Amino acid sequence: MAATDRRRPYLRIAEDIRRDIASGRYAVGEQLPVARELSDQYGVAMMTIGNALAVLRDEGLIETRQGSGSFVTRTPDDVEAAPAPGEHSEEFRIISEQLGEIRRHMQKLTVRLDELDARTRSDQAEK
């Protein structure tokens, strides 16, 4: 990292890791060093590393598994070939429709539970 680089540290770190992924230093499927190691390597707080990894997750380059670490899911070249923002895959469309259906069912259940709760309270008040 150049000393004259005025970007926030987490952006510089994300760029370094992105470059390492693109160069093959970290291959698809490979685990990145744990956050503590990256924190020590870059001399920054764990939160800064967390922010850098979040950038890479948002870009679709890595996936973080709770308790297991962060793994490379694709290279920056693969991301460029992905659908542009606003263009969604068929899988995304199906999942989105299913989520909408689940939300509608949840709303109906919430109304029914509220009605049941109101009836239960009125029954208890009469006793």
Confidence of residue 9 (pLDDT cuts 50, 70, 90): very high
Q: What DSSP state is assigned to residue 68?
A: T
The predicted structure's pLDDT at residue 82 = 52
| Domain 9-80 classification at class level | mainly alpha
Please check whether residue 70 is in contact with residue 64, taking contact to mean a CB–CB distance below 8 angstroms. yes
Other CB atoms within 10 A of residue 53 CB: 22
Lowest mean pLDDT among 32-36, 75-79, 83-87, 120-124: 83-87
Other CB atoms within 10 A of residue 5 CB: 11
Confidence of residue 93 (pLDDT cuts 50, 70, 90): confident
Tell whether the model's pLDDT for residue 34 goes beyond 80: yes
The predicted structure's pLDDT at residue 117 = 86
The structural domains of the chain, with segments of one domain joined by +, span 9-80, 83-127
Confidence of residue 94 (pLDDT cuts 50, 70, 90): confident
Tell whether the model's pLDDT for residue 1 goes beyond 80: no
Give per-residue pLDDT as tens, 53-92.
999 999 999 999 888 899 999 988 765 555 555 566 777 7
Confidence of residue 44 (pLDDT cuts 50, 70, 90): very high
Q: What is the rounded CA–CA span in Å between residue 90 and residue 56? A: 24
